[in-house]
Amino acid sequence: MNALPKQVKIVEVGPRDGLQNEKETIPAEVKTELVNRLSSAGFANIEAASFVSPKWVPQMATSKEVMAAIARRPGTLYSALTPNMQGFEAALAAKADEVVIFGSASEAFSQKNINCSIAESIARFVDVAKAAKGSGLRLRGSISCAFGCPYQGEVPLAAVADVVGRMRDLGCDEIDIADTIGVATPRKTQAVMETAIGAFRLDGLSGHFHDTYGQALANIYASLELGISIFHSSVSGLGGCPYAKGATGNVATEDVLYMMNGLGIHTGIDLDIVVDAGQYISQVLGRKGASRAGNAIAAKRAG
């Protein structure tokens, strides 16, 4: 068995993936406060905004205000989702450091999520990718339903390899392999990740696991065994995708940090500050957070 990576990058996606699915409108001030708290925890990358159609995802309509109001921590990249040139222009104006083009390994999901086929989405991304590079922005590609799809079920490994290759050819600096509906288990995770490793640099691949079936931490560990060293997580386990019914949030950041700390893997992130941020957003949302580690640490503090 290979040694696990000594250090990993945790991309905090709570302010975007976490909050995009909330039904009640969350004021921009709350989102800004959440991003600021996460920044102070030391993340190198926070997904803070999404410049998509407000008709499709109303919760993200305040992305411009949030990007204008956040206190930017030197050393943190603030990312924004950009499905097309309209989104890219908005992200550029909002001074995003990194833009995220998001496609799918499933045709059915591509249609539901971004209203076009995989091939059409890649064609749209060509201009976004060129514009991002031309403006000196980092470019990330996200691939939904790499482990299974809520509409078509099985997603062939060949489809994952194909989209990873297309994202690579667009010039992506990093590519996310996403389990949108949290169906993967560890061996399946390794099969998909090995496929992705066959098509892109190991150190540019990330695991984006939703925790719907409680498998996300196991899948992260399985990915670590292959040398994957970038993972996405959401403070307090917030979230879900509006176009994947029943899918719960991303794996909770607190849980991932607790596991990395226990494994002696360096993250550069202060778990206590993340726990505080999780408590803050849970209070605003009026419900108990979904992070087991976060709740345990908070309970221990309360004595």
| Residue 115 makes contact with ligand HMG by CB under 6 A | yes
- Distance between the two ends of the chain, CA-based, in angstroms? 41
- Torsion 67-71-72-77 (CA) sign: negative
Of residues 44-63, those binding ligand HMG (CB under 6 A): 50-53, 56-57
Q: Which of 5, 18, 83, 150 binds ligand HMG (CB under 6 A)?
A: 83
Task: State the amino acid at position 165 in one-letter form.
Answer: G
**β partners of residue 178:** 208
| Residue 17 makes contact with Mg ion by CB under 5 A | yes
Minimum CB separation of residue 250 from ligand HMG in Å reads 7
- Give the range of 66-74, 128-136, 184-192, 239-247 binding ligand HMG by CB under 6 A: 239-247
| Residue 141 makes contact with ligand HMG by CB under 6 A | no
- Give the range of 82-90, 186-194, 195-203, 276-284 binding ligand HMG by CB under 6 A: 82-90
For Mg ion, which is the closer residue by CB, 12 or 17?
A: 17
> Is 241 assigned a catalytic role?
yes
Q: Which of ligand HMG, Mg ion, none does residue 83 bind to, with CB < 5 to 8 Å depending on kind? A: ligand HMG
Minimum CB separation of residue 283 from ligand HMG in Å reads 24
Q: Which of ligand HMG, Mg ion, none does residue 42 bind to, with CB < 5 to 8 Å depending on kind? A: none
| Site of interaction with ligand HMG (CB under 6 A) | 17, 20, 50-53, 56-57, 81, 83-84, 86-87, 102, 113-115, 142, 144, 178, 180, 208, 210, 241-243
Q: Supply the residues annotated as catalytic.
A: 241
